[in-house]
Chains A and B, each alone.
Chain A
Amino acid sequence: MGNNKVHADQKYIEALLKNDTLVLKEIYEKFAPKVVGYIKKNSGDESKARDIIQETLMTIYAQAKEKKLELACPFDAYFFLLCKRKWLNELKKNNKQKVTINEEIVSIGDESEQYANETMIFEARNELFSEIFEQLGKACKELLKATFTIKSMEDVASKLGKSYGYVRKKKSLCIGQLTKMVQSSPKYNQIKNLL
């Protein structure tokens, strides 16, 4: 998707990256009412809508930060679709399938759908990775936390009183372990080809 022309609404993605309060306020003013309306119509209330909006924006932020998200479609449709799906998942999780879904007729371009799908996959991957990271042994977890927060491996090595080569080797073994763990997860097999 990188070849597509970047949409003017990319400014909302940039605002998340720069934590730009004024433009972020604009996101709420322009796009939140539609989401609130939808959630209220479908067994939710304003406070649920608040949570869904915040979570969705944080996912978009994470994706933009890690994967350099570049929108080639309007933010409106993309954002609404994401909030909507998140809400439907939430309803399913809580076993409230009996609710009637009052679908609104929204014309959503294929492109918005494609972007929303990518973000959903990104989110599913994050959830799975975080679950698996938690299962990792304490020593590995600590070493990885140190190497990824301190950035300079030399500093990590001197802090731990080990050699640079030792730390790099340990780090590669820990990530190797995570790699093995995630590869044996059935969930990963569903999403890996889409990454």
Chain B
Amino acid sequence: MTPEEKYELFERKISNEISIEEDRLLSQIIEDDQTIAKEFKTYKEWNSYLSSNLGLDTEKAEVANNLKDISDSFFTKETQKTKSKVIKMPSWGYAVAASVLVLLGVYTFTKSTTPVYSDFVSIPELSISERADANEIGKKAEEAFNSNNYKEAEVFLNQLLEEDKSNSEYLFYYGISLVELDEFEKASEVFTTLQNGTSIYKYRAIWFEALNQLKQKNTDKCKVLLELIPKEAEDYQTAQELLEEL
């Protein structure tokens, strides 16, 4: 048997296209010849390797991207935790905080009871520059966003998205910038994309889209979105509070 014939026989066997006669022949040579037996084992190993590594590229990339998002958000949270541990409030700080609370209480009590966007929005910090692959635009986007300069942040995030269209982190912060700039429709588009994806921003995007609707005083739309936020989402509690007030 030539090597060509041998490999074709291997191929027929693993793709289930082998005749009974050929199958018998193959079993026989594998039994008689240890070298061919080993070769067949390696051939099968290659077939298995190739079908997982050539055929599943997109799937693999999706998992890798998702893990990267989760990792980014996990490590940012950890860093913030350690940072906040260091900050100690001086004792007079409590007095100030208490007076502010009293004032806030009086203020909330006297103003109208309809909830508004600014009561509920809490904008997370963008953190790109600590990463190894951060570039100049990333740093500028972070600086602009964290200093509430959403006009510039929008421009830089847009540039980042041009290079990395499906980056859910950039999309999410881009969406927030748009809400802050009252570009409501564009923001809705961004949040819908995130809502339909599988990234860690999926539920946060629903919350921010609800806030986007609240800012436009579309109470009904806002309510529908709030109800979509599941219990395990980090904005669930606040979403419930807003829902009650609406």
Contact = CB atoms under 8 A, between A and B. Distances in A.
Interface of A: 16, 19, 21-22, 24-25, 28-29, 32-33, 36, 46-47, 50, 53-54, 57-58, 61-62, 65-67, 125-126, 129-130, 133, 144-145, 148-149, 151, 153, 168-169, 171-173, 175-176, 178-179, 182-183, 188, 192, 195
B39 A28 contact: no
B91 interface: no
A133 B46 CA distance: 10
Contact of B38 (A133, A153, A183): A183
A133 to B, nearest CB: 8
A176 B70 contact: no
Nearest to A130: B53
Interface residues of B, number: 49
Contacts of B66: 19, 21, 24
A6 to B, nearest CB: 21
Contacts of B102: none
B43 A179 contact: yes
B51 to A, nearest CB: 6
Contacts of A61: 60, 63
B10 A149 contact: no
Question: Chain B interface mostly helix, strand, loop or mixed?
Answer: helix
Contact of A62 (B11, B55, B60, B199): B60
B62 A169 contact: no
B55 A151 contact: yes
A28 B7 CA distance: 45
A25 B74 contact: yes
5 contacts: A54-B68, A168-B8, A172-B7, A175-B10, A179-B43
B46 A129 contact: yes
B7 A65 contact: no
B54 A148 contact: yes
B12 to A, nearest CB: 8
A53 B71 contact: yes
B216 interface: no
B45 interface: yes
B42 A182 contact: yes
Contact of A46 (B63, B75, B232): B75
Residue with the greatest number of chain A CB neighbours at <10 A, chosen from B7, B15, B198, B202? B7
Nearest to B72: A50
A153 B8 CA distance: 14
Contacts of B136: none
A54 B72 CA distance: 11
Residue with the greatest number of chain B CB neighbours at <10 A, chosen from A21, A62, A130, A183? A21
Contacts of B120: none
A19 B11 contact: no
A29 B57 CA distance: 27
Nearest to B68: A54
A47 B60 contact: no
B47 A176 contact: no
A169 B78 CA distance: 55
